Structure formats: structure tokens, C-alpha cells
Structure 1
């Protein structure tokens, strides 16, 4: 099957980007190339709000550079969109015409409402957040939206961005009075929209400044997981970073780990936007979405084919990507899941472990990806399974939920579990750590019942006696390998249910 590549060029006020996507079997788009250029087009607007020729030349040079990269792919389609600076330029028509003449590219200038809408679309199609406020701060504008039950309720674009807000400061490091003046201005602006006030819901941030904020936070905390998408922070974290950056000398600011050099002079005003909005919304958390405007544009394109603007199953689609990427067998997955459910219900019914719906949800998800690491190396499958699931972005799962999934799906024994959870021990209370270990032992036992992936085990029945727990296993065909593997694995399940287990394999 021919690989389908799509490209988008995003002409922002501060940066320009070329992103190449590969369309997956399931229809979703996977980013394969991301090229950034710090063009700072905003700085080329004159007193009459016209983009001067030097700015147009920089735009053309960057676009031609992007074309050179894009030519290495056989593209199905290329889209070129522009935001605030081109939108607000008095000579917008002339700029678009020059670009068309010099490069052959047709620029689609987004309205402020479209820009806000695409940010919302990206968030609801790449996270499991059903109600929230999005904020996307660019160089020349800031877009906010409010969505409820995944439906867009309100959208607004403020005519200020990180570059324009920088004008509140006389130097890169502002004085206390300058910060207070900016905070007052931002609070007044945000409070002018009643639908932003006291919502007490997540604030989801999009864009380069938000990514830099998260990267700084992760570096300061020596965060042990990879990935930025769906990373969670709180107002105290944002304030702490703001204070830290303001305590630095200008020459040290650009050397902060996690901060892009080209954003060093605009990160402080951007952080103030996030913090002020957090306070106005009275948000319960600050969450980063790596998916933004560019992804939103293509989600709209895809919707024309699938018939819906919203993907109904964000997490399920993301799990399916993993199944496809690692060549997992759907037939085996469903069988292991079926056996896991039987064992789960029997153990719950006999009161041997306290289990609830939430536990089954965790087990069910983990059963889709159990032993995924075999794709890399069968001998160290547990290590690879844990690393891949803990460090790969899974749309619809927070970092903590992703870690839970990784710990259960990679379970091998108590020793490796302790090894995997060690850097994250403080993330969970003792009881939850124990529950995750027991769920892992249960799933691993079920997986061993289909050790040869032939589905010879058809059904299991459990009987609870005073000192023993008997599991009768009905088979169709030779079950010798399954008997060996489950006998080897049962001690971990025995510790979880605090009873000796008798296995009775029957034809």
C-alpha cells in the first residue's frame, strides 16, 4: 500500500513551521517531520501596519526552504495557513500575491475565529478532556475557547501575543511594577469575557510558549517520563517558574534547560498570560496539548471523509495505533481479554481481592498491550513493554494513567515491578502500588493461559475452599505449554489472593 503523506505550513507571527504527516491505516495522521524557523514576522510591521519588504523577503526565503524539505516526500496535499501577522497586515493581498508568484503557494489566511476553532478541534480529538478552556498564545494574538461535553460553546481572539506583550517591559527581565501592570491588563482583558470567569475546569494550553513552560518544569523536577502531551501542572508550578526566570540575569535566561533560545525574550509575558488566565478561570489544572492549530486543520480535512468532526473514541484509536505499530494479534488480544475477565469476575465474586469497575478498566486497557515489548526482544519483553508504554504518547491518557497501564501490561514478577516503579514511588500511595502489582499478576497469569497464542484454553471455572483456590481450565487440544507457563506464574497470583492455587487442566 502506497504511503500517504500530507504537509502543512503554518505562518505564525513569531515562528513558521513545516509539518509532514503520514496517514496511518486507521486514518489518523502521524507526524514524521517538523521543521521550525524563527521568522518573527511581527517585527516587520511598520507604523501603518504594513509588512515591509524585508519581512516579505524573510517569509519567501523560509517558504522556499520548506519547499526543499517537502520535495523529498511524495505529498497527497500541502496546505499553507497564516495567522495574526498576515491577517492584520494592511497589505495582506500584496503579500499573498507575492508568495503565489514566487513560490506557487496559495496562502489561506485564517480568521481569528477559525484560529481559535482549530485549536479546540485539536484538543478534543487528542485528549479525553470533555470540558475545558483552551488557550493558544502566538506572537500577535491569543485565542481562547470554552468547550463543554466536547462541543464548542465560545471562542475569542485577543489582539495581543507574546511579542506585543513584551512591549510592557523595558528589558528582557521586567521590574516588579512592569509585571504588575501586565497582570492588571491581562486580568481586565480576560474578565471582559464572562464565560471565562470561575469555571473551575482544566486550562489546556497550545503552542510553543506552553511547550517551553512544560519543558522547563520537567527539567527543574527531573521528570522521569518522556513526552509533553497531556502533561499536568498547577498554578503554583507556573508561578514558581515565573519567579525563577525573573531571578535570572538576561545572559542566563537564554541558557535555561527546556527554553528555546528564540523564545527567551518572550517567555515571561507568555507565562503571565497562562497564570492570569488560570486565576480568572480558577482552573483545576494546567494541561499541555502538543496538538494545536496545524492538527486541527487536518482533523477538519479528515472529517470530510469520515463524516464527523469529532473522533468518538480518542483513546481507543490511539490504542489501535499501538496494536498496528507493534503487529499485535487482535485474535489473541480478545482471547486474553476474555480469560482475564473470567478470572477477574471469579476472584471478585469470591472476595479474594477488592476489585471494582475502575480496576477492570485498567486491566482491559492493559490486556490490549500485554507483552507488546516482544516486538523488540522476547527475552526482555517486560522491560521493553514498560519503557514503550510509559514513554510513548497515548492520546486520551494522562502521564499518570499511562504509567499505570505500563506497570500492569509489563508485569513479570515482584522484583521487576519494584524496579519499574522505583522512580515513581511517590506518585502512588502504598495501597495503589499493591493493587497495580496484583492486577499485573492477574493479567500475566491470563496471558500464560494463551502462551502459544493458539487459544487452546476455552474456559475457566473457579472454586474457593478454605485453604485452596481451584481453577479448572477447560482446553481443546494439547495444553502442555500453557500448563508449564501458568504453573510457573501462579505464585504471583497466590500472593495477590493470599491462597494456594490448584490448577486443573481438562480436555
Structure 2
């Protein structure tokens, strides 16, 4: 078991995390802290000096982190400094002071390296192929063009939320003429990017500004999920928010629900930068990434050791689910894999009947692996506990809607519950059609769970067919009776007819000597 510490010394904030890697390559976050230190504060374009006060704020945090690193028995420390230190004439001497005071060796990374690491953090945690990526910090913004999951171009512009705020004195009330001046300055910098896309392209944003804007939007719309990663903020809503934020005084901005009080002074510069990037990209929405440089540093270390062929990144969602289960149980139980194989077999054979997408099949697989995870909390109500885990676990590769859908699949793995749905605020983000899709897929999981009620994997094969007036299920078992699975699935017949509008006819074939194809399939999952 290895523990890796990662420190990102930015221009506005310092971030610190500790990741733990298990023997199987499973990893999890075990500690994190973020502190606003304003390292770039007071560093003018003329002097380009880190002030003594800013250095002291950073050293105070780094001294604490050095102690945590020692106590946590961290094997390796990956520590980098970005734009503020990179641009300061006394940046190198400051890092020598850091090493002498704390023992932490920090590396100044270039704007290009910063863009590459930010891209790595995003591409490992959001499953998108083509997009424009930007990472807005305190003293710089990195912008990258991504096509087919490859970073084609990157640029680092040496202006960020803190430096722009000081340049235009925009921490208080800002006049309309000053706002226009700031917009023109930002637009001029963006216009110099020769490879900036001419056609509309989705945009993913990283950094404290975009996270705060997303929080403000979620609060204002009553969004039921307390999640920022992979949240989509419509551009029209963003523009209205920026208009509102820039019209307020500093004191009024401090009272905006969702906006961090420590960011109220620099939010105007940050929000205008985000707005102009979205406008130039002609994107209909901004996707927020909660992962960036820190995660990129981690995967830069992790991939060459544990994911040389890139399979984990290529099949992000399912591998992320497996990774989570390994971190909490050491392995995901064979019963869960068997139930998953059984549910997928029915899904595939009845594809012409249910009409669900291949993506819903992937969500069903994820739910199959996770459906019993709640047992580690308590066997009683474990379906609801599993639903909570699916909704809140550190799992990557799905949208927020898909995570809600998977959570509901887990909740319904013994059958649908209208009461649970009514009391579940998150389910409100799903349309009626999406909820129907969940109910269809959940029936396959519930049938599979009931068929392995005894957890002895006695179902050797299922044959699924359909007629105009019914759906037919032939079940072959290795036992001479089918009392247990019949008892466990009987209550699902009414729900099945309600959802699919035709009855389910079940035939049992006990004592089957067929090779257990389902067990063979489950072993491969």
C-alpha cells in the first residue's frame, strides 16, 4: 500500500491531497485541504515580486502539510508551483526557502505543463471526446483544444482572476465603462489564439471561479444534487448570472448564495473571463470539472505503473466502479458479478422489446456491481444504502443524470418503490421517459437478484423470447427444485406487466445439466 501526497501551489489557493493506492492498483482519496493564500496578491507587472506576506501565508500551510505527510507515512510527494511562482523574479528563491523550512521539494511547472496536467485530470474523470478546456487560476488561464480525447493545442495566458482584479481595480463596485474595458482586454487575448475553434464546441472549465459560478446557479435553481463535477451550466443562465454579479457592490456579492465570501473580490474578473471564453466558443453550456491539475499529477504517476495500456481510462465508468468496490471491500463479491451477468443476459435477449440504449446497459452493469454495496452499512434496507453509495461514491465516467439513474437501479433491485421515488429529491432531475427507462432496466436487475436469492448460482441459463401478447422466460436450474428463486421473483410479475404492458410467462426447467454459461460470463466481468 502506497500513499502519495500532491501539492498544487497556485496563485490564489494552495491545494493538498493524499491518495492511497492498494495492492491491486485501487486508489482512493484519504485527505484533502484547500486554503486561499493569495500568493499573487501584490505582485505587480513592474516588480514581479512575491510579497513577504504572501510567502508567509504559503509557508504556514506548507509547514502543516509537511507534518501530515510525515504522520501519514507518505511514500512520495508530488509538489508543483504554477503561475505566481513561475512569473515571479524571486520564485526560485522562495522555493528554496520552502525546502529549507518544510523539507518539501517543489517544482515550478511551465504553462504548457500546467495545461497538460489539467487536461489529464479532466480526461481521466469526464468521458468526453471533443471539447475546449480551460483552467482559470489566480494568475493565468490555460486553454486547450481536445479532439478524440487528444490534446491538439494548448496555450497559457498570464492573466487570472487575481491579477486581472488588481490590474483593473475591480474588487469593489465596477462601472460599466470599466467592465467594457475588461471585456475588451480579455477578448483581445483570446483573439490571439490562432487555433481557437470557429464552430461551436462544448467547453469544460476547471478552477475556483467556475465551481463558484456553478454553486450560485445550483442554489438559484434549487438543484437537488450537491455535486459540481460534470455539472452543466447553460450559457444563457451563465450570462445572466455574470450580468447580475457585475452589477453588485462588494458587500452585495458577499451575500450571494453559493458564492464563497473569500472570492467576492475577485469574482468579477473571473466571471468575465469565463463568459468571454464561452461566448467565443459559441457553446450552449459550460461543464464544470472538479478535477484538474492535482488529479493530473496523480495519474501522471499512476498510469505508467497501473494502467500502461490505458484500459482503465478507455472504459472509465465500469473500471471506476470496480476501483471503488476494491477500496471498500477488497473485492467485489461473485454474487454481484453473477447477478450482473444474469441481468445483462436478459437485457440483451429482450433488446427488441425494451428498446433501451447501449448506455443504459452500461448503467445496468454498474448498478449490478454496486447493488449490494449497501450491505457493508447494514443488511436491513441495504438496497437504499446501495442507492446512497451509488449517488455519492467517487465514481467517474457518467453524467449527473446517469449517476441518479444508477442510484435508482440499485434502490429498486428488489422491486420498484413509488414512495422512495417520491421522497428522493434527486429523481426530480429525470424526465418521465428517463424514469420509465430506469424502471425497465431495474426489473432485469430485480429478476436477476431474485433468481440468485440463495447465492448458490444455480441458474445455468435463461432463454428470453417474446410474442405479441406476452414475454416468455425459460429458466434452467442445476437443482431439482426451483422453490427459492420462484418465491423471490413472484412479486415482480405484476410490476413487469405494468411496465412492459404484457404479462411475463415463466417456465422452469430443474435439474438441467447444461454448462453454467452465466457463471463463466460472471468470471470474466
TM-score, structure 1 normalization:
0.92
- Structure 1 residue 129: deviation in Å? 1.0
Distance 2:470 2:51 in 1: 83
State the 1:400 CA deviation.
0.9
Deviation at 1:191, TM superposition (A): 1.8
1:439 equivalent in structure 2: 441
Please list the CA deviations of residues 15-52 of structure 1 after superposition, one character each: whole Å capped at 9, or x if unmatched: 11222222245535422222222221212436421224
In the superposition, relative to structure 1, how do residues 250 and 359 fare at CA in structure 2: closer, same or farther (>3 Å)? closer
Is the contact made by 2:172 and 2:249 (CA closer than 8 Å) also made in structure 1? no
> Residues 423 and 82 from structure 1, CA distance in 2 versus in 1: closer, same or farther, beyond 3 angstroms?
closer
| Residue 480 (structure 1) aligned with residue 483 (structure 2) | yes
> Secondary structure of the residue that 2:391 maps to in structure 1?
helix
Q: In the alignment, which residue of structure 2 is the partner of 1:315?
A: 317
8 Å contact from structure 1 (residues 26, 321) kept in 2? no
**2:19·2:29 contact (CA, 8 Å) conserved in 1?**
yes
CA separation of 1:413/1:60 partners in 2, compared to 1, >3 Å: closer, same or farther?
Answer: closer
SS at the partner of 1:42? Answer: coil
Q: Alpha carbons of 1:204 and 1:71: their partners in 2 closer, same or farther (altered >3 Å)?
A: same
2:141 paired residue number: 142
Aligned to 1:281: 281
- After superposition, where does 1:78-477 map in structure 2 within 5 Å? 78-166=77-165, 167-306=167-306, 308=308, 311-325=313-327, 327=329, 329-348=332-351, 351=353, 353-411=354-412, 412-416=415-419, 418-419=421-422, 424-425=427-428, 427-428=430-431, 430-462=432-464, 464=466, 469-477=471-479
CA apart distance, 1:367 = 2.3
Matched position secondary structure for 2:78: strand
Deviation at 1:244, TM superposition (A): 2.9
CA distance in 2, matches of 1:96, 1:399: 40
The whole-number CA distance in structure 2 between the counterparts of 1:436 and 1:255 is 39
1:240 deviates by 2.3
**Stretch moving more, 317-326 or 399-408:** 317-326
Q: Say if 1:87 and 1:110, in contact at 8 Å, map to a contact too.
A: yes
* Separation in structure 2 between the aligned mates of residue 171 and residue 115 of structure 1, nearest angstrom: 27
3-state DSSP of counterpart to 2:146: strand
Q: Distance in 1 between matches of 2:74 and 2:215?
A: 32
Q: Answer yes or no: is the 8 Å Cα contact 1:183–1:272 preserved in 2.
A: yes
Q: Once the 2 structures are TM-superposed, how far is the Cα of residue 464 of structure 1 from its aligned partner?
A: 4.6
Other structure's SS at 2:17 match: strand
Change (3 A) 1:457 1:12: same
CA distance in 1, matches of 2:452, 2:464: 18
Unaligned runs of 5+ residues in structure 1 are: none
State the 1:203 CA deviation. 1.1
Confirm or deny: 8 A CA contact 2:472 2:504 kept in the other structure: yes
Indicate conservation of the 8 Å contact 2:187/2:276, yes or no: yes
Counterpart residue number, 2:517: none
C-alpha deviation, 1:420, in angstroms: 5.5
Superposition deviation, residue 77 in structure 1: 1.0
1:456, CA displacement in angstroms? 0.8
**C-alpha distance 485-68 of structure 1, shift in aligned 2 (>3 A):** same
Q: Which is worse superposed, 68-77 or 467-476?
A: 467-476
Question: Normalising to structure 2: TM-score of the pair?
Answer: 0.89
> What is the CA distance between 1:348 and its match in structure 2?
3.8
Q: Is the 8 A contact 1:463 1:471 kept in 2?
A: yes
Change in Cα spacing, 1:175 to 1:392, as seen in structure 2 (3 Å) is: farther
Contact 1:229 1:288 in 2 (8 A): yes
Q: Decide whether aligned partners of structure 1 residues 348 and 118 sit closer, same or farther in structure 2, where only a CA change above 3 A counts.
A: closer
Deviations 1:296-350 (A, max 9, x none): 112111233246495332212211123324547443233223322332344345x
Stretch deviating more after TM superposition (297-306 or 138-147): 297-306
Q: Helix, strand or coil: the match of 2:369?
A: helix
Contact 1:132/1:202 (8 A) holds in 2: yes
Distance 1:225 1:198 in 2: 34
Whole-angstrom distance in 2 between the partners of 1:364 and 1:409: 11
CA RMSD, Structure 1 to Structure 2 (Å): 2.4
How far, CA to CA, are the matches of 1:86 and 1:260 in structure 2?
25
Q: Could you say which residue in structure 1 is the equivalent of 2:521?
A: none
Which stretch of the first structure deviates more once superposed, 133-142 or 332-341? 332-341
Shift of 1:163: 0.9
